[in-house]
Amino acid sequence: MPEPWTDRELEQWNQCWNEELTRENIEEFLIGLPDETNPDYYPQIKELFNIEDTEIRNEIVNNIYQSDELKIQTDGHVDDVRFAAFYFLANHARRKSNTEDFLAWIERGRQDFQNRPLYQYMESILYREQNKYPHAINKCRPVFNEYSDNWPIAVGFAHNIIHGIEEELVGANQKKELAQEALNTIKMAIQSKPDYGKSYLIKARALAVLGRFEEALDEVDRAIEKEDSKKEDYAERIADRYFHRVRIEVSQQKHQLERQTREVEDRMDNMQSRFVQLLGFFAAILAVVFTSTQIAVSLGAQEAVGVVIVLTGGLISGFASLSLLLPGNLDMYRVITVIGFGLAGIAGGVYLVMSTV
């Protein structure tokens, strides 16, 4: 397969098309594209979007797609050129956000191209646009696993995952795991293509799902910085970036409010627990006082003191143990210390009583 066109060659092609647009020079461009699994395949096909006469361009590319032979003599395979024409036209429909046309192109190419990896990738994008999850993930994951070094496929796969999470098409117990998978995937894409702004936006959305909001906002800002102001859809891209920035900020505020609500509820639980403990403690003190008075009348001094100590130790240990059963946050070290102190009191009281026998 040919090597990707160089930047200089792409500039020459754009100049050529704007001077004279013919089927022959578009065919020659498509024939010279690298293999479809090459990361430069789609970025180079997108050069056709720079052609000013879009109506004639679409007509020529459509004719190439429908033809079983090429106008120029070449060693290139006709099916490869037809697939390149199909891939451009399907992406053209997708870029216009026309899901019906996009679906029509996917159906049109199914018979001829369904076994090609980029066709399956495009099919997963269609499922994403239709909110058909997990079809979007299951269709794209094998393609990504086979061509993990292809950064456009990595971006699409991570986008499929994050879209499904944000649209609440996955179970709550899967969100964190899938968001981490998307984050790992998009990091690979960024490493391969660090200047592609959309990757940073997807990374930001994955971080937001994981609750890392400050990092997410930084990545949105980086995505905005990476956008090329010379592109026709620059304003639309920037608006999309700011939309997601606001969305992340709202999620962050919601997360903070939920955390503060939980903290208030925890404090209320602690207050209720302490109130119940105090009521029980005072009731137990009254019981000990009453019982001790009754015992003191019928026993000797040492025996009475020993019994009172036993009852007090039992009160302390029982009260501390009860706190383990009540809701609220506990200082476990302090609870264990109090229980130990109570048990020591019981042992001391028993010793006093037994020493009189």
**Ramachandran class of 20: left when φ > 0, alpha when ψ lies in -120 to 50, beta otherwise:** beta
- The pLDDT assigned to 95 comes to 86
Q: What is the pLDDT of residue 262?
A: 75
For the segment 113-141, the average pLDDT, to the nearest whole number, is 94
**pLDDT confidence of residue 92:** 93
pLDDT, tens only, 252-267:
999 888 877 777 776 7
Residue 62 token pair: 């459509």
Over 80: is that where the pLDDT of 12 sits? yes
Residue range 305-322: average pLDDT?
A: 61
- Kindly tell me if the per-residue pLDDT of 35 is higher than 80: yes
pLDDT above 90: residue 23: yes
> Residue 281: pLDDT band by 50, 70, 90 thresholds?
low
Residue 149 binned pLDDT confidence (cut-offs 50, 70, 90): very high
Task: Compute the mean pLDDT over every residue in the chain, rounded to the nearest whole number.
Answer: 84
Share of the chain above pLDDT 90, in %: 60
* pLDDT score of 270: 66
Q: Domains along the chain?
A: 7-258 (1.25.40.10), 271-355 (no CATH)
